[in-house]
Each structure stands twice: as structure tokens, then as C-alpha cells.
Amino acid sequence: MEIVKRRTLSVSIIIIAVVLVTGYGLLPGATDVDLVNVFRGPLQVTIEEEGRTRLKERFVISAPTSGVMRRIDAKVGDPVQQGQTVAMLEPVWSQALDPRSRAEAEAGVSAATAALKAAREKERAAAADTEYLEKKLERITDLHANGYVAKDQFDQAVSEVNKARALRHSAEAAVDVSRFELDRTRTSLQSFTSRKSDASHQTINILSPITGTIFRIYRESEGTVGAAEPLMDVGNVENLEVRVEVLSSDAVRIKKGTPVLFKRWGGAESLSGAVRVVEPAGFTKISSLGVEEQRVLIIADILSPPDKWRALGDGYRLEAHFVVLEAKDVLQVPNSALFRSEKDWAVFVSDKGKARKRLVEVGQRNGFTAEILSGIHENEKVIAHPDESIGDGSRIQSRK
């Protein structure tokens, strides 16, 4: 009887052991996860946008009047000094005559030549009359002095001489007018399209208003330019600013004087800067994905020494990081550890080999970490990348 009891007890123990082993084997294994510490450290929150450099003061040099511009020998990137001649203008060349205009001009020359001949003949006649009357006046003067000619006759002779002299002067002036008219009509037949004027007083020198660098040449070759037509842009490369278009929802967090870090501009080190202007008016812009965005233009100055960014020029691309928060001792976790639990944020905390869901209050965030205001404590371990397979109470083990 005792042997039967022992045998029954042994069989029961074996059955229970088999059930336990089977049940343990059917239990899900621990999930490998990446665990990270909740830590305290400095936190910097930035707003990142693409920006472009531009000159603070761009001087567009324009033609002060219409004329023929000589070829510009300078090239883009050449330095210029204040008061240096950067372009030269000559008077506009005359237009070539069509056959009808040329025939009219030739007829005008013939008419002017004939008019000059007539004026010269009138001049000779006036000179002859004057010479005759002057000799007559000499004779009457002698007779009047001896009392043989009345005073009235003498005055009449003097008047006739004065009148003859006036007519002679008028005839001489008419000759000059005819000569000038002939020169004018002959000039209309000449071609000035290929003449170069060497007279310095006819050439207009266009000077640079500042000491700087040539950034753009609108027209290099010789040719006719109109008044106010732009010729080139000059500016000082050391007076650069950065133009950044920021979403309006981010722009409200940026103020005048906000620190800026300029990265990925081509240099090894980041450049420091500060916001100078936050424009009060926004504008609508279509993103590359076709979404309407309301943006605000922000202008920032580069505060780093010019020797560090001398290679930058006008219109260069860079990344602007606006520092809206910078704290030294902040409790934080990686952004990847956070997930949504309805309307709240939560994390999975490692507790004796099991994952425990913990609701947390999140403060400021940047691209890597988030500030934790409450819910967890320093040096606790949280799961860095929780997935759907992990739930509250799931068995976990640190991935090796």
C-alpha cells in the first residue's frame, strides 16, 4: 500500500514538473530593447531654417544719361576704390541716312551754297555803297568846313554813311549765317557711327561710390545705353547679412537679438550671429510639396570675425539655427523614447525586467531630446525605441 502511494506521488510530481516546464516554455520570451538613462544636462532648443546671404548695401551703378558706353575691362570679383572710374560714356552716334533723307540733305546743301553766294554779293554791294558814301562824306566835310555846304546837307551825308555802314554789317552777318547754315547741312550728310571722340570734355566718367567689389556686370560690351540703365553692382563683401524665411508659428518665438548659429555654410566651424530685424508682415509661400505656408522674413547679422567667413559672398546658402531656449541643468530623455497615450505623452520605464508605462509631462523639445517636467526621475532607464510589441508589463532585456 505504501509502495502504491509512493508511486502515485512520484507520478504526480513528474506530471506537475512536465506541466510547469511546458507552461514556462509557452511563456513569451523577454524582448530585446535599447535602454537609455534619464539624465540631466544642458538643453538647447533651436528653430532651423535655410537662409541666404545678401549684401547690406548694394549699389547699382547706372548710366546718368544716354550715350555709347565703352567696353568695360573689369571683371566680376575685381576690387574697386571709391572714386575709381568703372565705365565711360561717349555722346550718342548719329543715325545713318536713308536715301530720301540723304537726297533732302544734299538739296539743302545746294540751297545753302546758293544762299551763301547771294549773301556775299549783297555784302560786296553794301561795301561798295559804304565806300562811295564815305568818300562823298569826306568831300562834303571839307566843303562844309569852308562854308560852301549847308549844315543840313552835311548831316544828311553823315546819316547816309551810318546807314550804309549798318547795311554792310548786316550783310556781313548774313554771310556768317549762310556759312553756318551751309556747315550745318553738310554735317547732316556726314556719318559719325564709327568715329571715336578723343576730346576728354565729351566723355563722361562713371565713378564707383564706395570701396568694395564688383558683384555683377549687366553689360560688358561696347554699345548704346539709355539713361538710368544699370551697368554694374558693387558692394562691400564684409557687410553681409543673412535673410531667412521662417514659418509664422516659429517667428513669434524669435525676437530681436535672438542668438543664431550658422551651420553648413562650407566652413568647419559654425558662425555666430544675432537677429536684427523680424519683419512685422508675413507672406504666403508655396512649399516644394505644394502646401501653402505663411512665412515671415528675418534678417540676422554675422557676428563672427570676418576672417572666418571671408569666403562667403552674396547669395550663398547656409543653415540658420535660432536659439530660442538654452538651459544648463534640464531633466531630459531622447525624443525617440516618447509616445502618445491618448492626449498625454508616455514612456516605458524598465522595472525589474519589465516595461512599465509612465505618463510624463513634456516641456521644450529640440531635434534630439525633450525636457521632462514630471513623471520620471533622473537615472531611471527608459526604452529608447518602443514598438507595438511592447506593452505595460512586458518582459524586456537590454540588447547587447
What is the spatial distance between Cα 37 and Cα 48, in angstroms, rounded to a whole number? 27
Domain boundaries, the chain: 29-56+236-400, 59-93+195-235, 99-187
Asked: is 29-56+236-400 a CATH 3.40.50.720 domain? The reply is no
CB neighbours (10 Å) of residue 186?
A: 15
- Give the model's pLDDT for residue 112: 83
Contacts of 188 (CB under 8 A, 6+ apart): 97, 105, 108
Map grid coordinates 519589465 to a residue.
Answer: 354
Per residue in 133-188, pLDDT (tens digit) is: 888 888 888 887 887 778 888 888 888 889 888 988 988 888 888 888 888 888 87
Going by CATH, does the domain composed of 99-187 fall within 1.10.287? yes
Whether the predicted pLDDT of 328 surpasses 80: yes
Q: Which CATH class is domain 59-93+195-235?
A: mainly beta
Q: How confident is the model at residue 2 (pLDDT cuts 50, 70, 90)?
A: low
Q: Please state the rounded mean pLDDT for residues 320-324.
A: 94
- The model's pLDDT over 256-272, given as tens digits with 9 standing for 90+, comes to 999 999 999 998 899 99
- Total length of the chain: 400
Instruction: Flag whether the pTM goes above 0.85.
Output: no
**Confidence grade of residue 229 (pLDDT, cut at 50, 70, 90):** very high
Q: What is the pLDDT of residue 18?
A: 64
Mean residue pLDDT across the chain? 87
Please give the Cα distance from 374 to 347 (Å, whole number): 12
For residue 199, what pLDDT is reported?
47
Q: What is the pLDDT of residue 4?
A: 61
Q: State the Cα–Cα distance between residues 331 and 306, nearest whole angstrom.
A: 38
Task: Give Cβ neighbours of residue 310 (< 8 Å, ≥ 6 apart).
Answer: 237
d(CA 263, CA 252): 22
Q: What does the CA dihedral 167, 173, 178, 179 come to, rounded to 10 degrees?
A: 140
CA atoms of 233 and 208, how far apart (whole Å): 10
Q: How far apart are the first and last CA of the chain?
A: 56
